[in-house]
Structure 1
Amino acid sequence: MPRHRIRRSALSASATAAVLLSVGAYPPGRSPDHAPAATASVSSVSPAATAPVTARTSEEPVVDLDAELAGAVGPLVAAAGGAAMSVAVLDSGSGAGAVYGGADATYDTASIVKVDILAALLLRAQDEKRELTAGEHGYAVAMIEKSDNDSATALLAAVGGAAGLDAANQRLGLTATAAARSWGLTRTTAADQLTLLKAVFGTDAGAVLSEASRTYLRGLMARVQADQQWGVSAAGSSWALKNGWMPRTATGLWNINSIGRVTAGGHTYLVAVLSGGQRTKESGIALVESAAKAAVGVLRAAG
């Protein structure tokens, strides 16, 4: 994902000084270091000084949104002690966005891969010019709304297993995601998850996922059951999301992830937060929610 910077125009210092000289005045409350006792009248100023001055704009130093995001999220991660995290955020309206934690840093998906699996299934149905079967629909609802694991296993098989998911991801533009037969161990990046969210929540008529497919997936993500309505939803309202949580047997530490769309301050944001090495599920959820709020806050502050 490219780094996003914001530039703001301002009147140049030289133009400002020339304008002030042309009227024989200085900024209120301030005189120059070597000013005469009385300011020269306008008529005594040389022709060169009174020549029309065209105010030109200059650009202030750019705002590096990646750096701003790092400044907001980094301290949260440091305070968590030992957790690793990557965050990607996009303002759907302005196109401004940022990534924290390394664009190439990969994490186990846990259950957020279920959005990817359903996207792959919908692509397959589109290719075959058909609707989902009753059985596929039942699995899809259970997989997204309830995060049912058996349904995910069944639908992964329906799309051709890990190889089929990888093939679908190529079409969706996910370049750093590697599917696994044990679907929760699929590896991905926050930037790739943002790409997936754009495929689901975008409005382009020529998108890989049809409008009907996108509407279907969004609807399920907006109806996850009550005990799973945490994560990026903390950053705004009118959310649609999917979370993933998975303890690792070898370490006892948790992967806690959340992806989705939220509305805040009249803007719509896509947010992906991936983490590993969380000491408990509860502390991991708290950190993910804090990071999501910080990410949206950075873009809101940038305007």
Structure 2
Amino acid sequence: MRQFTAVVNPTAGAAATAAAALLALARLLREEGAGLRTEYSRSLAHARQLAREAGQEGRIVLAVGGDGIAGGVGGALSGTDAVLGLVPAGRGNDFARALGLPRDPAALARVLLHAAPRPVDTVEVSSAVHDRTVVLGSVYAGVDALANRHANRSRLRGSAAYYAGGLRAVTTWRAARYRVTVDGEELTHTGYTVVAANSGYYGSGRLVAPDARVDDGLLDVVLIREAPRRLFFALMKELRTGAHVHRPQVRVLRGREIRIAADREVPYGADGEVDAVLPVTVRVLPEALRVLY
């Protein structure tokens, strides 16, 4: 029977939500004879350490929380033989959404107990001033990173936090001039954002890259160029369904390695965490992680 180690989100408020989500799941796993050990991490770096140690012991590592903890734990296990399971209990849960994971504890327990591990791609992120890191979902540079920063500091939960953060970011944003290099081919882009997406979803359910696949060895690069604010708000609504990609202001490319730079200080984020500014280089790591889904 499978042996699990659950690594719980270190953020104080989120930890309570994650613990509640894990409680019902834990009972179901143990009733089937599975072993479960729970680790409460002190920081994202500590969560990565706990994940690596559990993986080295041959245990399945459960990332309990949202996209930040999923990306941190998944990134720590990337390139190893360890297996990752996700317990979506955060604000966005976008990578879990892309995998089609259920929120219902009984249905999720069946996946964790019986699904065969499947390989997915991960994303290497590096810059001149930050250590190399690996994440799961996407890297985004522009107004969305600014919106995510606001959302992370908000007292609101779920989509409401992202919507409020987006309104605040858009009202103060001025178009940035980007230099984007996709597999060695450089282009210029003036606008709102550049997104390098492994997963199609970001920002709590927004389908930014509808054709992105987590196992195709490619990143979908979504560029949203300068437009009147009223049109950008229409684009934000269309992100719910992915219809924005049909707008002339949106361009989608695909590649394995993407470098994003800008003419001014532009924030970028990865898997819900925003703590850096451009330039950044993003590279896909094909089938680098085994996940239960």
**Shorter-chain TM-score above 0.5:** no
More strand by share: 2
More helix by share: 1
